[in-house]
Amino acid sequence: MEKILNYIDGEMRAPSSNKYINNYNPSSGLVYSLIANSSKKDINSAVDSAKQAFNDWSTSSKKFRHDVLMSIADKIEENFEALVVAESLDNGKTESLARRVDIPRASENFRFFATAILHFSSETHDMDGKALNYTLREPVGVCACISPWNLPLYLLTWKIAPALAAGNTVVAKPSEITPMTAYLLSKICIEAGVPKGVLNIVHGLGSEIGDNLTTHPDVPIVSFTGGTLTGQHIAKVTAPMFKKLSLELGGKNPNIVFDDADFEKSVSMAVKAGFSNQGQICLCGSRLFVQETIYEKFKIALLEKISELAVGSPLDNKTDIGAVVSHEHMTKILSKIEEAEELGGEILCGGKRKILAGNLKGGYYLEPTVIEGLSYDCSINQEEIFGPVLSLLPFKSEEEVIMMANSTKYGLSASIFTNDISRGHRVAAKIKAGVVWVNTWLLRDLRIPFGGMKQSGIGREGGFKSLQFFTEPKNVCIKI
Ligand code: NAD
């Protein structure tokens, strides 16, 4: 069985413990590879290697770093199909989604930040000709980049690329639930000629090696994407060490449909926002608020559209909904559906596990589920479920829906559907979220500040915001 090894000091290495964790294929429920179960010793070797590499990499020209990142992007594209298959096999997502979104974005992340660093600039502040301040932007050091399982290569490269472009070296810790494409990326980096130690990728359990990495005294900066509870823990353990921290955490995003919206478009978008990647995108619109004047008509159209979604093998091009990521996650989602029923919610469709035939019978498939009749402030409408589950809620007025939309502890994203431009602006201004879409969902421009308010995170990623995070400003004042 294939062993997923660490990438340390420019080479593939077995974990020092020589122990491995089972890696499951969510579409069949079977173990198909083994993951390095790394320990503190491996984290220490990776950090040492990144520290050794820092001097040369951080003082290399921007053009040199640009060329290295571009060459990684080229190799990702050369290995495109292999990465698509691997991402789907490891995560349960459909191959079509990995082909359309995950893998193109991974190479785009490298291209985007390879060129962004060439355009990155800093400020000068002239003191009426008496003195001049200029601000240097220096790489911070060895960065810890920790990523989740829902968009494995997409989110890992979204951190690694700007960190490296800015002149830092990196120790990355991909999710132990979906490590395969990070492993393939290690091999790609070797082929692409990434200097040794510049990027290190260590596999293993976050609960075991996470603290070793985030609290390592030689790691001054941590970029984390994952659950809010893990983010809280990282904030707590790193605070006494005053590390630079970027946290991209959970969401419980409202999708708001007014009665003047384009009906067909808002129904289609509600389905897309609810069920893409089996509802396992932090930006999914899992709370669907529909104005009461169109609520019944909308509900019928929504359920009809959902009935057309095919749950099936991730390899099949006709499949819309593949497997959720793990048995544990599937059980959690099912228990949330049960909780919704106990709270008086009515399951309008789905609500159950779907057993497929043949070698897929052990796979983690769930029917797309819509629940109605729950109060906006019950646990199901307040806590992230992160699965193919939509909660449908009617609303009367703008004021009421803004209150309900803002009622959770999260503030990641929101979508508003309306043909009244003034209403679009007005509601967008009042929503407490880092990202608000009007008449669309998940339309991403890599230059925008991306991130959440409240317990959805700290800081912003994207474009020059990422490069600012991965550099330290140093002001130099010259008396004239
Ligand atoms: P998670 O928090 O369980 O794990 C994320 C990563 O952290 C994994 O690599 C894990 O191994 C590691 N980790 C676990 N414990 C750690 C510790 N003590 N110290 C350091 N690292 C540790 O999250 P998950 O289940 O993999 O991902 C799903 C969550 O991610 C959802 O809440 C989702 O909303 C969120 N997410 C947020 C964004 C965003 O941009 N805001 C994007 C994608 C996913």
43 lines ligand 1 (CB under 6 A): no
Contacts of 421 (CB under 8 A, 6+ apart): none
Look up 284 and say whether it is catalytic: no
pLDDT of residue 289: 99
171 lines ligand 1 (CB under 6 A): no
- 3-state secondary structure at position 159: helix
6 lines ligand 1 (CB under 6 A): no
250 lines ligand 1 (CB under 6 A): yes
From 147, 175, 389, 460, mutation site for ligand 1 pocket: most ligand atoms within 8 A of C-beta: 175
Look up 378 and say whether it is catalytic: no
Q: What residue's CA is closest to ligand 1, atom 9?
A: 175
- Between CA 58 and CA 117 the distance in angstroms is 13
- Between CA 433 and CA 366 the distance in angstroms is 29
pLDDT of residue 88: 98
pLDDT of residue 3: 98
Q: Which of 148, 24, 10 is nearest to 89 (CA)?
A: 24
What spacing in Å lies between the alpha carbon of 229 and ligand 1's midpoint?
A: 9
Question: What tens digit of pLDDT does each residue of 263-279 get?
Answer: 999 999 999 999 999 99
373 lines ligand 1 (CB under 6 A): no
What spacing in Å lies between the alpha carbon of 149 and ligand 1's midpoint?
A: 7
From 37, 38, 102, 150, mutation site for ligand 1 pocket: most ligand atoms within 8 A of C-beta: 150
Point out the catalytic residue in the list 108, 248, 367, 372.
248
175 lines ligand 1 (CB under 6 A): yes
Q: What angle do CA 91, 312, 157 make, to 5 degrees?
A: 25
Torsion of CA 81, 85, 90, 96, to 10 degrees: 100
Point out the catalytic residue in the list 143, 282, 284, 461.
282
Q: What residue's CA is closest to ligand 1, atom 13?
A: 206
Q: Count the alpha carbons within 13 Å of 223 in the hemisphere toward its beta carbon.
A: 34
Residue 399 corresponds to which tokens in the numbers above? 């004021």
Question: What tens digit of pLDDT does each residue of 110-137 get?
Answer: 999 999 999 999 999 999 999 999 999 9
237 lines ligand 1 (CB under 6 A): no
The conformation of residue 60, written as its DSSP 8-state character, comes to S
Contact 284, 387 (CB under 8 A): no
Determine the atom of ligand 1 nearest the C-alpha atom of 204: 11
206 lines ligand 1 (CB under 6 A): yes
184 lines ligand 1 (CB under 6 A): no
Torsion of CA 149, 155, 156, 157, to 10 degrees: 150
Which parts of the chain sit beneath pLDDT 70? none
Q: Which of 222, 228, 263, 285 is nearest to 413 (CA)?
A: 285
pLDDT of residue 356: 98
pLDDT of residue 389: 98
What spacing in Å lies between the alpha carbon of 266 and ligand 1's midpoint?
A: 30
Residue 257 corresponds to which tokens in the numbers above? 């449909």
What spacing in Å lies between the alpha carbon of 231 and ligand 1's midpoint?
A: 8
